[in-house]
Amino acid sequence: MAHDDTLYSTREAAERLGVSLRTVQLWVEGGVLRAWKTAGGHRRIPREAIDELLAQRRAELLGSPSPSQFKLLVVEDEADLLKLYRLQIAAWALPVTLVTANNGFDALIRIGEQRPDLLVTDLNMPGMDGFRMIRTLRASPDFADMEIVAVTALGRAEIADRGGLPPDVRIFTKPVPFSELERIVRERLARPMRRPQPA
């Protein structure tokens, strides 16, 4: 049977995108890459979905940070608050590369590409919110133990009403506790770096 060059398997998509199979699976589960299942249960990804993501990655990876630095991913949909994160983190004068995203979809792309050492995320965001993003990460074996900090305006009862969060996710209430975040980053920097290997 001839190969349909408009559709790709997850392995073929991973080769085309230059990422691990696990990353493609994460993106499919999170809805970043459009896909569907065949009658036999295999995922198929349309070529145009891969081309769109390739074009986006090419544009964004021009300023890709050095892989040797500690990577901190901040997910926040308020532009002014993201600027404040940048200013505060720069003032720490630590060897930290800041990667940002403004919703869960963008964050899953960054996570697949950058493999951050620490994820700091808002919960209430348009599109894919922090709850769904965290559930997607915890369902993936490669990202199940990623260190996650939630910074939110939601109260504990509101968080519980929306399905709650895994017990290992630290929760802080806005305004952003930058001194606490700095302490967490300094603690992480004091530990040996443990970079996961691509699948």
Say how far residue 116 (Cα) sits from the centre of its chain: 8
**What pLDDT was estimated at residue 42?**
84
- CATH code at position 56: 1.10.1660.10
Q: How far apart are CA 149 and CA 55, in angstroms?
A: 30
Do 134 and 56 sit in the same domain of this protein?
A: no
Give residue 29's pLDDT: 81
Angstrom distance (rounded) from CA 64 to CA 80: 23
Range of the domain at 81: 66-190
Q: How far apart are CA 196 and CA 151, in angstroms?
A: 25
pLDDT at 194: 54
Residue 103: CATH number of its domain: 3.40.50.2300
Residue 83 lies in a domain: yes
How many structural domains comprise the chain? 2
Q: DSSP 3-state helix, strand, coil percentages of the chain (rounded to 5)?
A: 45, 15, 40
- One domain for residues 181 and 147: yes
Say whether both 81 and 170 belong to one domain.
Answer: yes
Residuewise pLDDT in 10s, the chain (199 residues): 335 578 888 889 888 888 888 888 888 887 778 888 888 888 899 888 888 877 776 665 555 544 447 899 999 999 999 999 999 998 888 889 999 999 999 999 999 888 899 999 999 998 899 999 999 999 888 888 889 999 999 999 999 999 999 999 999 999 999 999 999 999 988 876 555 444 4
**C-alpha span between 87 and 89 (Å, rounded):** 6
Query: pTM of the prediction?
Result: 0.71
Query: Which two three-digit tokens encode residue 199?
Result: 């699948």
User: How far is the first Cα of the chain from the last one, in angstroms, to the nearest whole number?
Assistant: 29
